[in-house]
Amino acid sequence: MTNSVKKGTLFVISGPSGVGKGTLVSMLREKHPEIKLSVSATTRNPRPGEINGTHYFFLTKEDFKNRIELGEFLEWAEFSGNLYGTNKNFVEKMLKDGQNIILEIEVQGALQVKNKLKDVILIFIEPPSFEELKERLIKRCTETEEEIQKRLAIVKKELEQKHEFNYVMINDNLDTALQNLKTIILREIDGIKNK
Ligand code: ADP
Ligand code: 5GP
């Protein structure tokens, strides 16, 4: 018997830390909770208010490395001294069940997904300027000054990869950016459904 469920669409949303990926994705999912979000694993410490299994699966470095060996990650990367990765089984199962799913990940991981899977829509979110990005990270108050500098130090390199993405959009005015993101995602879902 053939499986008649239409496969879901995988979206990768990437861009520099502090550009607003998390903000945009959570606003989008408030209106469209049917679009699923993959919860990543990380070795970084939880921020105040972050819940294990909701924001991330918080793992020790040893546990994370074992899981790399076991092939549990679709992609993983070291970012600012910590490891981050996407669970492969979860993503495969969701897509097979016809669910549309978002990965909100940094650039190295996004490019790994691009190389591994052909059916993926990659969206790069750009800041309006470097200064504004810095402001956002400072105002977010989640990292130390040193940690913010580490994240800012790789922004130029991250921006150089944006041509690898299917879509590049700026998060300047939040409402406009949300509308743009929504349009891209809903069009892709509809377009693929109607093919
Ligand atoms: P990321 O997930 O990309 O690291 P966040 O979603 O945490 O970024 O956003 C970083 C900070 O910038 C947050 O404090 C958020 O409220 C703020 N922010 C997001 N988008 C905008 C915007 N368009 N204008 C101003 N501030 C924004
Ligand atoms: P943060 O420490 O601010 O939560 O995340 C740092 C960066 O890691 C962000 O750009 C975030 O999108 C990215 N990230 C989160 N989960 C993953 C993941 O599973 N894989 C990769 N490659 N990056 C991730």
pLDDT of residue 192: 57
Phi/psi at 101 (5° precision)? -135, 145
- pTM given for the model: 0.96
Is 10-193 a CATH 3.30.43.10 domain?
no
Under a CB-based contact definition with an 8 Å cutoff, are residues 121 and 188 in contact?
A: yes
Distances (CA, A) of 107 to 14, 46, 78, 141: 6, 21, 11, 23
pLDDT of residue 106: 98
Average pLDDT over residues 155-182: 98
- Using CA atoms, how far apart are residues 195 and 191, in angstroms rounded to an integer? 6
Residues 106-117 have pLDDT tens digits of 999 999 999 999
Phi/psi at 71 (5° precision)? 75, 30
**pLDDT-based confidence at 70, cuts 50/70/90?**
very high
User: Where do the domains of the chain lie?
Assistant: 10-193
Helices (H), 70-173: 88-96, 107-116, 130-140, 145-153, 155-159
The number of beta carbons lying within 10 Å of the beta carbon of residue 188 is 17
Residues 129-163 have pLDDT tens digits of 999 999 999 999 999 999 999 999 999 999 999 99
The answer to whether the CB of 84 is under 6 A from ligand 2 is yes
Instruction: Examine the pLDDT at 102 and tell me if it is beyond 80.
Output: yes
Ligand 1 nearest-atom number relative to CA 140: 14
**pLDDT-based confidence at 194, cuts 50/70/90?**
very low
Instruction: Examine the pLDDT at 2 and tell me if it is beyond 70.
Output: no
The answer to whether the CB of 127 is under 6 A from ligand 1 is no
Ligand at minimal distance from the CA of 140 is: 1
More confident residue, 81 or 5: 81
Residues 21-67 have pLDDT tens digits of 999 999 999 999 999 999 999 999 999 999 999 999 999 999 999 99
- Using CA atoms, how far apart are residues 56 and 121, in angstroms rounded to an integer? 23
Find residue 14's DSSP bridge partners.
124
The answer to whether the CB of 104 is under 6 A from ligand 2 is yes
